[in-house]
Every structure is written in C-alpha cells, then in structure tokens.
Structure 1
Amino acid sequence: MKLSSPIYQLKHRAKSMAREEGIPLHKAQDRIAQMEGFATWSLLSSKAATSLVTDVLGQVESGDLVLLAARPGHGKTIVGLQALLDARRENRRSFFFTLDMTENEARDRLTDMSNLELAKSIDVETSDEIDADFIIAALAEAAPRTIAVVDYLQLLDACRDKPELAEQIDKLRLFAASKQIVLIFLSQIDRSFDPTQRKMPSLADIRLPNPVPIEAFDRRFYLHDGEMRVEHRAA
C-alpha cells in the first residue's frame, strides 16, 4: 500500500492534530495510521521501512562500515531498527548502541515494530560511555555477519574525554573488517540541505562538527521523502 504522503509529512500532520485536538501524540499518530489503512502507527512505520531495509541489507557485505543519513523524521532510525529486526529473523546477532535513547525507549520502539520476543533478542546498549572502544569490547565475541547499529555518528565524540571521531571511525573500520561484521552508523544531515534545489542529500550535506573521513564508509545511504540514494566507496 502506497502512503498518501511521505512519512515525515504524516508525522507533521499527527503533531498538528495532537496540538489542535489536545490529544496525546501517540493517539494522533495512530489515527493518521488508520486513515492510511494501518491499525497503528508502528505498523505504518514498519511497512514504510521494509522496502528500504531490503535495499540496505541487500547491498551491504560482511565487514562493511555503513552510513545511513537523513534529516530528522525521514526514517533513518526506523530503517536502522528494522534492519536489526530483519537480521534477527535470519538468526544473525543484532546490537543497538544508542546515545540518544533510553533502554526503555529503544525496547518500546523495537517491540512496537515487531513483537516482545523478537525485540528482547536484540542487544541494546545505552551507556554514556559508548565509543569505539566500548563497541569493540561489546562485539569482541560477535560471530561473522553480526549487525550493529550506532545511534548516532555525531555523538560518539560529544564528550571531550573521548578520542576524536576520525580516530574512532578508523579503529571501527579495521575492527569490522577483521571480524566480518556490519556496523551501521545513523547520521544527521545538515539543516542547510535544501530539497528544492536537490532531490536527495549527498556527502556534502553530512553534519560534521568534527572532521571524519567519510570515504572510510563502504556504503553511504541517504534517505529523503521515502526514497533512498546509495554511494559506494571507491575501490
């Protein structure tokens, strides 16, 4: 079923409805979802992410360092979480490292998108200490084809006592290749990106307060308005 509008526009409609009618946002989102033919907002979100996740998982290979970038509300978190759920359905171990959500928030979103049993099978890490060394230690015994999503790139060196982002990414790139696992980093797109000038964001639109070698990423996926563009690292 094709949505009447991109999901970020449906989110705006839900927020307006919640404000105008004085109802909780989740109730407004469910009402919007029902207008689109889905019982709940979580089912709508999962459906919207399914085809994009298929494209992502179909193009990445074991050992890849992956960038998944979008403006807020354009689905990068949904696609990242759905990738973890789909990987678990293939009996691949899945990890979610988040510096942006609490564990309860992450678990609730995973459960809404699947079921309690599947959501519980995903390893969720929400420590403030998450950085390259933390991720490497957590994945030290991970089997090949394990998939991990990091939420999100720009927060890895937010604390001054953490190594520079470029140093962390270089360390994680070598680790992913040696372990033959997939590391997916959610990333923000700068607010200066203007969709009236270009349909999709690109490398130049990645918000980077601190320098990072973006060319280190084997695949770079950009999401906008329910569409996706991919770039591959030059050989």
Structure 2
Amino acid sequence: MAPADSNVRKLPEPAAPQYRAAPANIEAEQALLGAILVNNEAFYRVSDFLEAGHFFEPLHQQLYELASNLIRAGKVATPITLKTFLPSDVDIGGLNASQYLARLAAEATTVINAADYGRTISDLAVRRNLISIGEEMVNSAFDAPVDFAPRDQIEDAERKLYGLAETGRFGSGFQKFSQALVTAVDMAAKAYQRDGKLSGISTGLKDLDSKMGGLQSSDLIIVAGRPGMGKTALATNIAYNIARAWNGETRADGHIETVNGGIVGFFSLEMSAEQLATRIIAERTGIPSSHIRRGGITEADFETIKDVSVELQRLPFYVDETGGLSIAQLCARARRLKRQKGLDVLVIDYIQLLSGSQRKGNESRVQEVTEITTGLKALAKELNVPIIALSQLSRQVESRDDKRPQLSDLRESGSIEQDADVVIFVFREEYYLANKEPRPGSEEHIKWQTEMEIVAGKAEIIIGKQRHGPTGTVQAAFESHITRFSDLAKDQYLPERMGD
C-alpha cells in the first residue's frame, strides 16, 4: 500500500543563486600593458582618456600608474625598469614580477590596436560604475531614511550619472600644474577665434566685454538691481546675443564643439516662456511688447514678427519656466540639458525664487540662500559654464539720496557676495527722476526737464566685484519700451560734449 503522502506534490529545490562577475577583460588589460612595455608610443594613444582606475586588476592599475609616471618623466618603461618598483616576492599565478612582466611583453598587442584596447578597458570601467550606482539606488530605495524623499533619490542618482557621463572632465582630483598651463594656453588660442578676440563668451555689448573679457567659464555672475531697473532685460539681451552668435564644429568623435557664441539654458522662474519670447521679439523688431499683446500692430508689423520668429526658432536657446524649483532640481535639469543638447551659458531669473533642497523649520532664509549660491557656484565649476543669476536688492537703496547700488544692498548679501565671481548692478537714473516730476510750468520743472534729457535712454552697468578684472561703470543705452540694452555712442555721454 502506498504511503498516505505519496500524492503530495513536492516543492522544487531552490536553485543555487547565480553570481555574476563584474564586467572586465583581463586579456585586453594584459595586451595593452604589454604593448606599452614593448613600445612606449602606445601610451600616448590612450593617455588622454585612460586612467589607472579603469583597470580591473589591482596589479594592472599599479603597472599602468608606474609606466605613466616613467614615460611622463621622459624615461623608458620596460619590464626591466618596472620590476625595480615591484616587490621581489610578489606571486602572480605562480609567476614572480620579472616573469609576469616578460609574459606581458610577449603577449603584447600592436601599437595600432592600443587605442581600441584602451577604449574597451575604459568602457568596461564605466559599466562597473553603472552597476555600482544601480546597486546604490536599489539599496537606497529599500532602506531609505524617512526624510529622504523619492524625488531626492532621483536627483542624487542623476547627479552621480552625470558625473559618470562627464568622467575625465570634472572631479578628477589633483592635476599637475603643467596641465593647467596647457588649458590656459588653449583658452588664449580659442580667444582669437571668437568675436572680439575675447577669452570668454561675448555678451554682445562691446563696452561690457572690454571690462570683463566676456563671460568666463565656471564663473558665477550675479546681476542685481531694484525692480524696474532692467536686470531681466539685460540678462535676456545677453542670452539672446550669445545664442544668436552660436557656431559649432563637429569633432571626429561626433561631438559638436562650440567655436563662437553658445548654447543657452534659461530658467525663467518669474516669467512664462511666452512672456520671455514676447520680450525677445519686441527687442528684435522694435515693436513694444504691449502692442504685441494687445494686438495693436499693423500687417507690416506682423510680417516682421513672423520673420523674426522664424530666426528665433533656429537658436540654441532652451527655456525652463517651472516655478518653485529647488537648487537640487535646478542642478539636475541643467546637467540633463548639457548631456542632451549641450550647454555653454546658464541664466537664472532669479535667485530669491529658488528654494533650498531641504528647508528645515528652524533654518533662516539667509542659510537657505547660502545653500543656493554655494550650489550655483559648484554647478558652474562642474558644468564648466558661466552662470548668470539675477538677484533682488534690499529696500535700503531707496532711502539713500544716491541710489546707485552697493554690494551691501544685496539681499542676504553675505553668501551672494562671497560666492559670486562677478557682481553687476543695473542702475537707471531716468527711472527715479521720472517719478519726481515737479508741477509743469514751474522753474523746478524746467530744471527737471534738463536733467531728464541728460539721463533719458541711458543706463549704468556697474561692476561692483570682479575676481579677475577691474571694477567700474559701463554706460549703456536702454530703450525701455522694447527692453533693449545696447552700446552707447561715445559722444552721447562724454562730459565735454554735454554743454554743446
């Protein structure tokens, strides 16, 4: 008789877990190291992108580092010169140091194939890093702290992925000063290719460029002013000028490198994208935006607007109109834009509309702004682009007779002034004077009219701070009805011509 439990279905035995080895190609590492030891010219085929940390085998990391140091020092890297730097008692699969180095040289690839082997090693290192980031994401999602929101985890993962995508450009640790010198000389050479022979990106305003040398990479540039001064107009004008001047060249690897002008990202936290577009159309056509909005335009005006719109559609100008962004969200979006479209200049309108990543109840606004400005400066360095960030000024300006702004007028000024590389104030005497019009027909009114004629249509761009250049004031023309800044003709503001 069969046992009572003979019909009971048995559960299958659990399968043994399958362990996957990290992606690596030891043979490619051995072949490349052998090629370098046989012919040091192979090193120069891979040295611009391959680092010791890209090798999977720790001994291979050490050998590549040793060979790099010897070759860069003008010496020869061979099995004989390298073995003196390795312990004599090292055991590599039953081989000592001399035997292993000799085997590498014997199995070397040719110099011609060195770059391909180097790319293989580098790509596998990236894949290992991707696995590491993925594992961290999974572990963080399972064991997330209460105060670590999913959105924060996404932004943290994006930051790490961007850092991996930009490997070799940012965060590579210390570098020899000679590398910095090469970068500086390259910057000077590129200046000759740009409009105005500038080291930085031209703002489109010649007098401002002559003071600043253009917008410099990795600089945080604060543009500040009281309401009505035109700080948004100045940032918009500069952004448009840069996008319009953009010219790029396709490199051998398919990457497009900016030669002139730049690809612009614009965070419009206050205005909608449509309002920003209307401003630019008004500035380009000379038709006031108030007329465009109310439909007070002629058929000829509409044709002009249509032609300008076609031109604007081709510009590398990207707008994000999302309000209430945190500094972490802004950084994540900026990284994404650079990765997907490219980015040469970033504009933020304006700092006081940003929030800290995790504002706590007992944290003051000053502390929050400190986090924001520190984050913007770090982002400028990380992306290696100039960031133009607009800022409000405190009301204490209004209480002074001379209403020209000072650094102390910056709201939450400590961190803004400290983190900024350049601080620019926009000031228009015309704005204040227009609000003080005396009774028409009086003697004061005649005097007021004379003063208004002097300052009408003029603005001062005051450079209050500049780490690598002079401070001072640049005179500019400003057409308020179309919010356009432009260079002021010299004879319009020379003191000796005033009385003519």
Residue matched to 1:71? 226
Q: 2:405 aligns with which of 171, 181, 201?
A: 201
TM-score, normalised to structure 2, is 0.34
Task: From the superposition, tell whether residues 54 and 77 of structure 1 become closer, same or farther in structure 2 (CA, over 3 Å).
Answer: farther
Alpha carbons 2:326, 2:356 under 8 Å: kept: no
Deviations 1:170-219 (A, max 9, x none): 122112112211111111122220485335211111123x9634211000
3-state SS, counterpart of residue 170 of structure 1? helix
1:222 aligns to 2:425 (yes or no): yes
Residue matched to 1:212? 415
**Bigger Cα Rg:** 2
Take 1:188 and 1:174, find their aligned partners in 2: how far apart are those partners? 21
Alpha carbons 2:326, 2:357 under 8 Å: kept: no
Task: From the superposition, tell whether residues 77 and 67 of structure 1 become closer, same or farther in structure 2 (CA, over 3 Å).
Answer: same
Residue matched to 1:182? 386
3-state SS, counterpart of residue 192 of structure 1? helix
Q: How does 1:39-50 map onto structure 2 within 5 Å?
A: 50=205
Residue matched to 1:93? 263
Task: From the superposition, tell whether residues 74 and 158 of structure 1 become closer, same or farther in structure 2 (CA, over 3 Å).
Answer: farther
Q: How does 1:99-110 map onto structure 2 within 5 Å?
A: 99-110=269-280
Deviations 1:44-79 (A, max 9, x none): xxxxx9567656874431111010011111111111
Q: Which runs of 5+ in 1 are unaligned?
A: 1-48
Q: 1:142 aligns with which of 314, 338, 342?
A: 338
Take 1:52 and 1:138, find their aligned partners in 2: how far apart are those partners? 33
Q: How does 1:121-132 map onto structure 2 within 5 Å?
A: 121=315, 122-132=317-327
Alpha carbons 1:215, 1:233 under 8 Å: kept: no
RMSD of the TM alignment (CA)? Answer: 3.1
Alpha carbons 1:64, 1:181 under 8 Å: kept: yes
Take 2:229 and 2:207, find their aligned partners in 1: how far apart are those partners? 12
Task: From the superposition, tell whether residues 211 and 93 of structure 1 become closer, same or farther in structure 2 (CA, over 3 Å).
Answer: same
1:116 aligns to 2:309 (yes or no): yes
Task: From the superposition, tell whether residues 52 and 202 of structure 1 become closer, same or farther in structure 2 (CA, over 3 Å).
Answer: farther
Take 1:127 and 1:156, find their aligned partners in 2: how far apart are those partners? 11
Letter in 2 for 1:175: L
Residue matched to 1:8? none
Task: From the superposition, tell whether residues 165 and 119 of structure 1 become closer, same or farther in structure 2 (CA, over 3 Å).
Answer: farther
Task: From the superposition, tell whether residues 154 and 133 of structure 1 become closer, same or farther in structure 2 (CA, over 3 Å).
Answer: same
Take 1:191 and 1:182, find their aligned partners in 2: how far apart are those partners? 28
Task: From the superposition, tell whether residues 136 and 179 of structure 1 become closer, same or farther in structure 2 (CA, over 3 Å).
Answer: same
Take 1:56 and 1:148, find their aligned partners in 2: how far apart are those partners? 21
Alpha carbons 2:343, 2:385 under 8 Å: kept: yes
**Greater mean deviation of Cα atoms: 190-199 or 120-129:** 190-199
Take 1:234 and 1:105, find their aligned partners in 2: how far apart are those partners? 34
Alpha carbons 2:327, 2:357 under 8 Å: kept: no
3-state SS, counterpart of residue 267 of structure 2? strand
Alpha carbons 1:85, 1:118 under 8 Å: kept: no
TM-score, normalised to structure 1, is 0.67
Sequence identity (%): 23
Q: Which runs of 5+ in 2 are unaligned?
A: 1-203, 247-261, 285-307, 361-366, 429-458, 469-500
Instruction: Name the structure where helix makes up a greater proportion of residues.
Output: 2
Take 2:347 and 2:395, find their aligned partners in 1: how far apart are those partners? 23
Count of aligned pairs:
186
Letter in 1 for 2:222: L
**Greater mean deviation of Cα atoms: 198-207 or 150-159:** 150-159
How far did residue 220 of structure 1 move?
A: 0.2
Residue matched to 2:352? 154
Letter in 1 for 2:421: D
Instruction: Name the structure where strand makes up a greater proportion of residues.
Output: 1
Return the structure number with greater relative CO, CA threshold 8 A, min gap 6: 1
**Greater mean deviation of Cα atoms: 70-79 or 142-151:** 142-151
Q: 1:166 aligns with which of 370, 373, 396?
A: 370
